[in-house]
Amino acid sequence: MANPFEEQKKKQEAINEAMKSIKHLIAIGSGKGGVGKSTVAANLALSLAKEGYKVGLADADVYGPSIPTLFNIEHQDVMATEKDGKEMMLPFEKYGIKLMSVGFIVEDNAPLMWRGPMASNALTQLLSETLWGELDYLVLDMPPGTGDIQLTLIQTFHPDASLFVCTPQQLAVADVRRAINMFTNDQIAIPVLGLVENMAYFTPKELPDNKYYIFGKDGGKKLAEELKIDFLGQIPISCSISEGNDNGNPVSMSFSSVEAKAFMALADKVIDKTK
């Protein structure tokens, strides 16, 4: 009779072997959906690549994968190759980063009606059966909340660090507080690099010195102070970010825009904290 503990040990060793060429695994989380977590993850990955690092982006938001749309690589067939007798998925490459999404391994437009174990298995497959190669950073776009995916990630992949995204209004702040507290719990203790406040304010192009706080002001900044974690900055709400998301050209592809500079400043802080 097979020993389940021995089988689990071998499985974990195989996962560790598959991930050993990745220097930093950074989990991007949020308390609720709709706060721009995937936008931040995508533009952070691009900004790190612009700094000369080898970067991958894994979309593990199993119930709402966004990366195929953000990079305009929907409806793609995943290619595979064999390595050491095992079939491995080949990530897509665009704008200098390697991309893999659960959205590539499910049928287009099909509802992901997965129970917890199925979702967790999808995450494990996504990360450990992709041929990432050597990476300085693998940015992981998690689903919102504090469920099975987060627990699987923590227990199986042991990320180096996490980063959380919220918007200024109190509903988003209340939800992200729970997510941060999960990662800082003594039994988990994944380092939290800090909190990013997305859609923090609106600045019209014709009035570049004006800031309009549509969703309230400094909700994320105040929460960071309360939780004694670093506040990593504010990302404005803008048509450029929305248009870039829709047409597959994330705003960080620009070098001069206010939005691109905000994401580059975030990347610089992440680099400093992971040296």
Residue 3 falls within a domain, yes or no? no
Residue 153 has pLDDT above 80, yes or no: yes
Residue 59's pLDDT is 92
pLDDT of 125: 86
Distance in angstroms (rounded) separating the CA atoms of residues 139 and 57: 5
Tally Cβ neighbours within 10 Å of residue 95: 18
- Percentage of the chain with pLDDT > 70? 94
The mean pLDDT of the chain is: 89
Over the stretch 44-59, which tens digit does the pLDDT of each residue have?
A: 999 999 999 999 999 9
Classify residue 228: in a domain, yes or no: yes
Q: Residue 111 falls within a domain, yes or no?
A: yes
Specify the CATH number for the domain of residue 45.
3.40.50.300
Asked whether residue 84 is assigned to any structural domain, the reply reads yes
Domain span at residue 146 reads 25-263
User: Residue 63 has what pLDDT?
Assistant: 75
The predicted pLDDT at position 112 comes to 56
Q: Write the pLDDT tens digit of every residue in 221-250.
A: 999 999 999 999 999 998 889 888 888 889
pLDDT at 2: 62
In a domain, 133, yes or no: yes
Looking at residue 116, what is its pLDDT? 60
| Res. 62: pLDDT tops 70 | yes
- The CA-CA-CA angle for residues 176, 182, 187, to 5°, reads 165
Q: Is residue 78 part of a domain?
A: yes
Lowest model confidence (mean pLDDT) among 2-6, 52-56, 87-91, 137-141: 2-6
In a domain, 5, yes or no: no
> Stretch 79-106: mean pLDDT, rounded?
89
268 occurs within a structural domain: no
CA-CA distance, 159 to 157, in Å (whole number)? Answer: 6
pTM of the model as a whole: 0.92
Closest CA to 129 of 82, 174, 61: 82
Domains held by the chain: number: 1
